[in-house]
Amino acid sequence: METIRNLRDYTRLRTDLTRERTRYYSRLEKLLEDALIKVSAVASRLDTVSARDMVEALIAGERDPQTPAGLARGRMKAKHRALVEALTGRFDDHHAELARMLLDQIDSLTGQIGRLTDRIDQLIAAIPAAQGVDPDGTTGPGAGLAEGAPGAFWFSPAGRSQ
Q: How many residues does the chain have?
A: 162
What confidence score (pLDDT) does residue 128 get?
67
What confidence score (pLDDT) does residue 138 get?
73
**Does 152 lie in the same domain as 112?**
no
Prediction pTM value: 0.78
What confidence score (pLDDT) does residue 44 get?
87
**Does 85 lie in the same domain as 14?**
yes
What confidence score (pLDDT) does residue 3 get?
86
**Does 23 lie in the same domain as 86?**
yes
What confidence score (pLDDT) does residue 155 get?
47
Is there a contact between 29 and 106 (Cβ–Cβ < 8 Å)? Answer: no
**Does 153 lie in the same domain as 117?**
no
How many domains is the chain partitioned into structurally?
2
What confidence score (pLDDT) does residue 2 get?
87
Q: How far apart are CA 7 and CA 147, in angstroms?
A: 28
Q: Which residues of the chain have pLDDT under 50?
A: 152-162
* DSSP state for residue 87 in the 8-state scheme: T
User: What domain range is 22 assigned to?
Assistant: 2-126
